Structure 1
Amino acid sequence: MSKRFPGRKLSLARLAFLIVVLVAVGVGGITGFNSWQDSRTASDSEPWFATYVDVTASPSYAFEQPVSEHEQDVILSFIVAADEATCEASWGGYYSLEEAHRSLDLDRRIARLQQGGGSIVISLGGEANSELALACENTDDLVDQYRAIIDRYEPAALDLDIEGPALTDTASRERRAEAIATLQEEYGEEWTPVWLTLPVGPEGLTADGVDVVKEFLHAGVDIAGVNAMTMNYSSELSAQDMGQQVIDSLEATHRQVMAIYADDGQPLGTHTAWRKIGATPMIGQNNVASDIFTLDDARVLRNFASDVGLGRMSLWSANRDRTCADAYADGHIMSDSCSGIDQGAKTFAGILGNGFTGSPASTVAEDTDSLRPEDIVDDPETSPYPIWSATSSYPAESRVVWRQNVYVSQWWNSAIQPDDPALSAADNPWQLIGPVLPGESPLPLLELPEGHYATWDPDVEYRRGDRVIFDTVAYEAQWWTVGENPASGQADPGSSPWRALSQDEIEQILEEEYEE
C-alpha cells in the first residue's frame, strides 16, 4: 500500500500502463540523444566545394590562377597507369609525374595555388585509360605508386574515381582497398582522406558500386565519403527534369550508404550520412545527348544540398564552365572546353559552390614573417632557370627565376622586371608560373651539337622550314629570307622570318637521333 496515496492499490492494468509509458519515455529519450549526437557528429565536418580540372586537356586550364573564391580548391584529374600493362603512375597516360613537372610545370603551379590558400585533391582513375589497380597486379607495387603520389603532391584528399573495367574487376577492387588500408595504417594521423567517386543511376549506386564501398569498409578503410557521379542518366525524367533526377539519385544513394554502414556495424545517423555523400554533375551538355544540366538545375541541386547538409559538391569540369564560342557547331556534342549551353555571365561554380565554406584541406598553412621583395636573393645553384637580368633579351617562352619565383615570357622583351608593380597584366610580358620548389637545381639547357645544322650565312637564301645555327642557338625560317640576322630579329619576333627552336623541340630532335 502506498503511504503517499493511502487507500490506493496498484492494479495489474495500471502497472501495465505504467510500464508502457516508461518504455515510451525511454525510447524517446534514446532517440532524442541519438538525433542530437547525429547532428553534433555531422557538424564536426564542414561541407566543401571543389571543381575538377582536366590537367592534360588542351587548352590548358590555369587552375593556379583562381578567377573566383569558388576555384580556390581543385580536384586535379586523372592519374592513371602509363598503359594497361605498366604499373607506373602517369597523368592521363601522357606524362609521368616527373614529366608533368617538366612539361606542364605542374608541381610549381600546385605550389602557387597553395601559396594563395587553395588546396588540391588528386583524382585517380576516370573513364579513359587504365586505372592503376588494374595495371598493378601486385598489391605492394600498387602501394608504392599510391605512396609516390601522396608524398609528391601532399594532397588534401584522394579521390578514387572508379568506373568502367575498374568497377567490375573484382581482383583490382580488392587490391585497391587493401593498398589504401595499408597506407592508412602506415601514415596514421597524417593520413589523407579518401573519397570514392562512383557512378549512380536513378536508383542510386550500381550493385558493383555498393560492393566497392563494402570492400573498403571490410578492409578497415575510414572512407571520407561517397561522391556520386550525377550525370549521363539517359532516362525519361533526366531528359525532362535533370535537377530532380539528380536529387532522386542522391536520396537513393543516401539510403544505400546508411544501409551499408549499418551492415558493417557502423550505423550512421541521417545527418552524418549526408555529410558522407558528395555530388558531381556534368555541367551543361552531358555525353548523353538528351541529358542537359542547366543553370536552373544547378540552383535546384544547390538548394537541396543546403537543406540536407551534403558533405561535398563538385562539378565536371572547370575546363568546361563557360559558354561555347559561336564557332562551336553542335551544342549537343559534349565538349571538353565549354558547357554547350548559354551561361551568360554566370558560372556553374558560382552557383554550386555558393555557401560551401569548408575545405578538403586538413591543415592550415602556417603564417610566415613578411619579407621585403628587395631582400629576396636568388641563388643560381638552387634555381631551375637563369636569374633574370636587366641586360639580357628574352624571346617568347623564355623562363627565368626572379625573387624565388619562376616566370615565363609571353613575348620578346628586355629590361622589364618580371614583378614590376607599375605594369598592368596586359602590359607585362612576364607571366608568373609559381615558386621555386625546395631541392631544385639548374635545369640543363639543351643545345644541338655543332654542325647539326649549317651555320647561318647572310648570302644564302632560306625558305620556310630551313633550319640554321647562329651563336649556338637553332632557328627555323618561317618564310623566304636572305641576309636577315636570326638573333637581331628576335627584338620583334612577330615580324622576324626566324624563330628559335624551343627546348621541347630540341629535346625531341636529340631523342630521335639517340633512337636511330
Structure 2
Amino acid sequence: MRRRSRPVHSLLAALTTLVASAGLVVGVVDGTAHAATPLPAHVFAPYFEAYSSDSPADLALKSGAKYLTMAFVQTEAKGSCTPYWNGDTGSPISGSVFGADFATIRSRGGDVIPSFGGYAADNGGTEIADSCADVDAITAAYQKVVTTYDVSRLDMDIEDNSLTNKAGIDRRNQAIRKLQDWAAATGRPLQVSYTLPTTTSGLASSGLAVLKSAKTAGARVDVVNLMTFDYYDGAAHAMAEDTKTAATGLQAQLATLYPTKTPAQLWGMIGVTEMPGIDDYGPAETFTTADAKVVYDWATAKGLNTLSFWALQRDNGGCPGTGGSDTCSGIVQDPWYFSHAFAPFTGGGGGPVVDDFSVAVTPGSASVAPGGTTTATIATTLTSGTARPLALTVTAAPAGVSATLAPGSVTTGGSAALTVTAAGTATPGTYPLTVTGTGGGLTRSAPFTLTVSGPGGGAGALVNGGFESGALAPWSCQSGGAVVTAPAHGGSYALKASPTAGQTGECAQTLTLAPNTAYTLGGWVQGGYAYLGVRGGATGSAWTGSTGWSKLTVPFTTGASGTVTVYLHGWYGQGAVYGDDLSVN
C-alpha cells in the first residue's frame, strides 16, 4: 500500500508514555508468551495509517471498525535490523507507542494486525527482510512485535522492489518459519498473512514466487490478501468484477500450490483489500459505494477470510475528484460509508458458505463429417461448499446426431466423456449443444458447438486446419510439435512439426469421409523436406524444400471405409517444418 509521508510521533509517544506510566496500558506484554486471542474466521480489518496523528482507538470507535491493520512496521534505514513504526526512531516497538489504543480496541472486542513493509519501505529498502541480512534478527523483530502487543496475526505487505529481491523474499520466509516454530513451542496462536499486488486474473509471477518461496521454507501462509486496486494497466475497470476475477484466479493458483486443500479451505485463506473511491491511478480505477455491496455479498458467499481497504482515514467524501489521497476517497460519500458496509463481515462472514459448482467442455467445439464421431471432456469443479452428486445431460443434438455422456453422473470435481456421432444422413450445419450438471438444487451448464460438414466432407471435414483455436486438438504430434504464432500463413497461428534424428516430427488427424470418393488435400507449407499427405484408406503425398510458404495439393480417393489420416511431417535430422490453412475438399 502507498504511503507518502512519515511524520514524527514525538508528541504521540509522549502522551502514550504518560498513559502507560499511569497504569492504564492493559494487555500489553513484553517478552512473555500469553494466550493472544485468535482472529475471527472472517474479519473486516481496514488499514490504519499509523504515520498520521490519529488515534487508532478513536477512529475505530467512530467508524465502527473493530479490527485494524496497522501500517506499517519497518527499519529506519537500509542495513538496520531494528523495527519501528514507519521507520521513525521516535516510535519504537513499545507499549508506550499505541499500547493504550490497542488495549482500548481489545476492550471493545476487537484487535489489531501489525503490518510489515508497505510501498515506501519496499521502495526504499527498509522492509525488514530486505534491510536486514540476519534471519535470526528478523525473527527476533517479528517476535518483539508479537509479544509487545500480544497479537495473533502479522501481515507482510510486499510490493515494488521487495517483489524482486529474492534474497529478501527467502530470508523473510525463513524467519516466518522460525517465528511459527517459536509460537508453536510456546503455545501461542499466530497467523501470517501476505498482502500482495494483483492482476485482474490473479497474482503475477512475482507474487506467486513469494508464496512458492514460503512453501520451500516450510513457512505456513494463512492468508493471501490481494490489493485489488492500482492495476496501472491502462484498461477500463469495473472494480467489483475485477475483485472477483482476481480472487478467483488466486484461488486456482492456490489450488495448484496446496493440492490437498478443499476449495472451501482455499477460499478461506483469501483476503481482498480495496481502495475506496479514486485510487492512485486515477478515475479509470474508481471503487464506488455500489461496488462495496457487490464485493461484500460476494466475499460473504465465497467464505473469504479477510475484507479490508486502504485506508480508514480515506473513508469520507471530503475531496470529490481527487485521486490517491491519504485523507479522503475522492468521491461523494457519507463519512464511514465503506466501514459500515464491510463491518458485518466480521465473525461468521454473514452466513454459511453456499454449495456451488461449474461445468466446462474441452474442446468447446468440433467438426465431424456425416458418419463420423468426435469426443470432448466434461469437467466439473467445486467452486464453494461441499461436493455433491451431479447428474449430467446433453441436449439439443440435431436429427441424425447422437450425443452420449459416460458416466452420466459424477461427484463434483469429477469428469465425463462426451461422444458425438453423426449418422450418414445427418444434415450439414452448425448446432449449439448444451451440457448440464444438476445437483443440490443447482443447475450449471456449458455450451458445445458441433459442425456437421457438408456432403462429401467439404472443407469442414478437416478440423482446425487453420490452427486459429491456438491449440493442437484434434491434431496429434510427435514430440516437439506445437501450434505457433510465427511463421503464420493466414491468421495468427500455424502448425510446427519438429523432426529429430529418430523421428519425422509427424502431426496427424484422422478423418471419416465419404467412401470411394475423390478428394484433394491442400495447404501451405514451408521448411526443408516438408511433406503433406494421406494414408490409411488412401495414399498420396507431396513435398517441398521451400524456405517460404508454398502451396501443396494431394489428390486421393477414399476406400470402402472412408477413413484416412492426414499428416504433415519433415525428415529425420532436418529442421522444423510448418503448415497452415490446410483443408480437404
* 1:281 corresponds to: 274
1:113 aligns with 2:109: no
Separation (CA, whole Å) in 2 of partners of 1:69 and 1:331: 23
Quote the offset at 1:353 in angstroms: 2.7
Q: Which has the higher strand share?
A: 2
Quote the offset at 1:309 in angstroms: 1.2
> 1:160, 1:194 within 8 Å by CA — same for their partners in 2?
yes
Indicate how the Cα distance of structure 1 residues 178 and 355 shifts in structure 2: closer, same or farther if over 3 A, else same.
closer
Separation (CA, whole Å) in 2 of partners of 1:77 and 1:197: 12
Q: Residues 159-197 of structure 1, C-alpha deviation per residue, up to 9 Å, x if partnerless?
A: 111111111100011100001101111121314110111
* 1:422 corresponds to: none
* 1:253 corresponds to: 250
Indicate how the Cα distance of structure 1 residues 272 and 99 shifts in structure 2: closer, same or farther if over 3 A, else same.
closer
Q: 1:233 aligns with which of 214, 231, 234?
A: 231
Indicate how the Cα distance of structure 1 residues 155 and 97 shifts in structure 2: closer, same or farther if over 3 A, else same.
farther
* 1:49 corresponds to: 44
Q: 1:194 aligns with which of 192, 195, 201?
A: 192
> 1:50, 1:70 within 8 Å by CA — same for their partners in 2?
no
Partner SS, residue 322 of structure 1: coil
Quote the offset at 1:254 in angstroms: 0.9
Separation (CA, whole Å) in 1 of partners of 2:237 and 2:216: 39
Quote the offset at 1:344 in angstroms: 2.7
The residue identity in structure 1 corresponding to 2:256 is A
Q: 1:337 aligns with which of 327, 335, 360?
A: 327
Separation (CA, whole Å) in 1 of partners of 2:144 and 2:348: 27
Q: 1:315 aligns with which of 309, 313, 331?
A: 309
Quote the offset at 1:99 in angstroms: 7.6
> 1:89, 1:96 within 8 Å by CA — same for their partners in 2?
no
* 1:81 corresponds to: 75
* 1:170 corresponds to: 166
Quote the offset at 1:94 in angstroms: 1.8
Indicate how the Cα distance of structure 1 residues 174 and 287 shifts in structure 2: closer, same or farther if over 3 A, else same.
same
The residue identity in structure 2 corresponding to 1:49 is F
* 2:287 corresponds to: 293
Separation (CA, whole Å) in 2 of partners of 1:261 and 1:99: 34
Alignment of 1:116-515 (within 5 A): 116-129=108-121, 130-188=126-184, 189-235=187-233, 239-262=236-259, 267-289=260-282, 290-324=284-318, 328=319, 331-344=321-334, 347-357=337-347
> 2:40, 2:346 within 8 Å by CA — same for their partners in 1?
no
Q: Which has the higher contact order (CA 8 A, sep 6+)?
A: 1
> 1:320, 1:335 within 8 Å by CA — same for their partners in 2?
yes
- Percent of counterpart pairs with the same letter? 27
Partner SS, residue 182 of structure 2: helix
* 2:32 corresponds to: none
Separation (CA, whole Å) in 2 of partners of 1:233 and 1:169: 21
> 2:95, 2:149 within 8 Å by CA — same for their partners in 1?
no
Partner SS, residue 63 of structure 1: helix
> 2:79, 2:133 within 8 Å by CA — same for their partners in 1?
no
Q: Residues 176-229 of structure 1, C-alpha deviation per residue, up to 9 Å, x if partnerless?
A: 000110111112131411011111011211111111111112222222111111
Separation (CA, whole Å) in 2 of partners of 1:45 and 1:123: 18
Q: Which has the higher helix share?
A: 1
> 2:94, 2:148 within 8 Å by CA — same for their partners in 1?
no
Q: Residues 257-294 of structure 1, C-alpha deviation per residue, up to 9 Å, x if partnerless?
A: 111112xxxx2111111001000011111000121111
Quote the offset at 1:240 in angstroms: 4.2
Indicate how the Cα distance of structure 1 residues 252 and 347 shifts in structure 2: closer, same or farther if over 3 A, else same.
same
* 1:98 corresponds to: 92
Q: Residues 278-314 of structure 1, C-alpha deviation per residue, up to 9 Å, x if partnerless?
A: 0001111100012111111111111111221111111
* 1:460 corresponds to: none
> 1:197, 1:229 within 8 Å by CA — same for their partners in 2?
yes
Q: Residues 399-435 of structure 1, C-alpha deviation per residue, up to 9 Å, x if partnerless?
A: xxxxxxxxxxxxxxxxxxxxxxxxxxxxxxxxxxxxx
Quote the offset at 1:350 in angstroms: 1.2
Q: Structure 1-normalised TM-score?
A: 0.56
Separation (CA, whole Å) in 1 of partners of 2:40 and 2:218: 21
* 2:54 corresponds to: 60
Indicate how the Cα distance of structure 1 residues 148 and 67 shifts in structure 2: closer, same or farther if over 3 A, else same.
closer
The residue identity in structure 2 corresponding to 1:119 is D
Q: Residues 119-141 of structure 1, C-alpha deviation per residue, up to 9 Å, x if partnerless?
A: 11110011002200011111111
> 1:284, 1:293 within 8 Å by CA — same for their partners in 2?
yes
> 1:195, 1:225 within 8 Å by CA — same for their partners in 2?
yes
Partner SS, residue 245 of structure 1: helix
The residue identity in structure 2 corresponding to 1:241 is A
Separation (CA, whole Å) in 1 of partners of 2:94 and 2:317: 29
The CA RMSD over aligned residues, in Å, is 2.2
Q: How many residue pairs are counted as aligned between the two chains?
A: 304
Separation (CA, whole Å) in 2 of partners of 1:346 and 1:108: 23
Q: Post-superposition, which runs of at least 4 consecutive aligned residues in structure 1 deviate over 2 A?
A: 61-70, 95-102, 234-237, 330-333, 352-356
Q: Structure 2-normalised TM-score?
A: 0.49
The residue identity in structure 2 corresponding to 1:167 is L
Quote the offset at 1:109 in angstroms: 1.3
Partner SS, residue 82 of structure 2: strand
The residue identity in structure 2 corresponding to 1:177 is N
Q: Residues 412-461 of structure 1, C-alpha deviation per residue, up to 9 Å, x if partnerless?
A: xxxxxxxxxxxxxxxxxxxxxxxxxxxxxxxxxxxxxxxxxxxxxxxxxx
Q: Residues 70-103 of structure 1, C-alpha deviation per residue, up to 9 Å, x if partnerless?
A: 411111110011112222101112245538755x
The residue identity in structure 1 corresponding to 2:51 is T
Q: Residues 287-343 of structure 1, C-alpha deviation per residue, up to 9 Å, x if partnerless?
A: 00121111111111111112211111111111111111xxx4x72331101111111
Partner SS, residue 184 of structure 1: helix
